[in-house]
């Protein structure tokens, strides 16, 4: 198992209940698997915040994987390792 820290904000943080949560992911671990693990743990309230109900796809957003910026559209198959931190940069948009 690979253990990673997930940092979230605003309404997603409200669902996870803390600024940073740690989650275990089966190997070989990818960013996609992190979200699947979060979905298993936090269920429908988490799905509602991340998955677009019309398309059934994950909403587009950026993430910080350690010091690298990645995106939910292009980088979900990226490998992760034990101790990595993913910050979910969501929601975005302006005033």
| Binding span for other proteins by CB under 8 A among 25-33, 36-44, 86-94 | 86-94
Determine, following the binding rule CB under 8 A, whether residue 17 of this chain makes contact with other proteins.
no
Beta bridge partners of 51: 58
- Determine if the peptide bond prior to 34 is cis (ω within 30°): no
Distance of CA 67 to the CA centre of its chain: 16
Our finding on whether 71 is near other proteins (CB under 8 A) is: yes
**Candidate list 17, 28, 44, 53; residue touching other proteins; CB under 8 A:** 53
The reply on whether position 68 binds other proteins by CB under 8 A is: yes
Among residues 25, 21, 18, 26, which one has the least CA distance to residue 6?
Answer: 21
Question: From CA 51, how far away is CA 62, in angstroms rounded?
Answer: 14
Smallest separation (angstroms) from other proteins to the CB of 26:
25
Q: Using CB under 8 A, list all residues that contact other proteins.
A: 7, 9-11, 13-14, 48-54, 59-62, 64, 67-74, 87-95
């Amino acid at each position: 198992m690979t253990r990673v820290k997930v940092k979230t904000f605003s309404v997603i943080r409200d669902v996870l209940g803390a600024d940073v949560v740690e989650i275990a992911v089966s190997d070989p671990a990818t960013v996609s698997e992190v979200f699947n693990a979060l979905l298993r743990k936090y269920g429908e309230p988490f799905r509602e915040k991340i998955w677009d109900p019309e398309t059934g796809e994950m909403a587009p957003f950026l993430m910080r994987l350690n010091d690298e910026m990645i995106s939910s559209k292009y980088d979900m198959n990226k490998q992760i390792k034990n101790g990595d931190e993913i910050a979910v940069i969501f929601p975005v948009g302006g005033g």
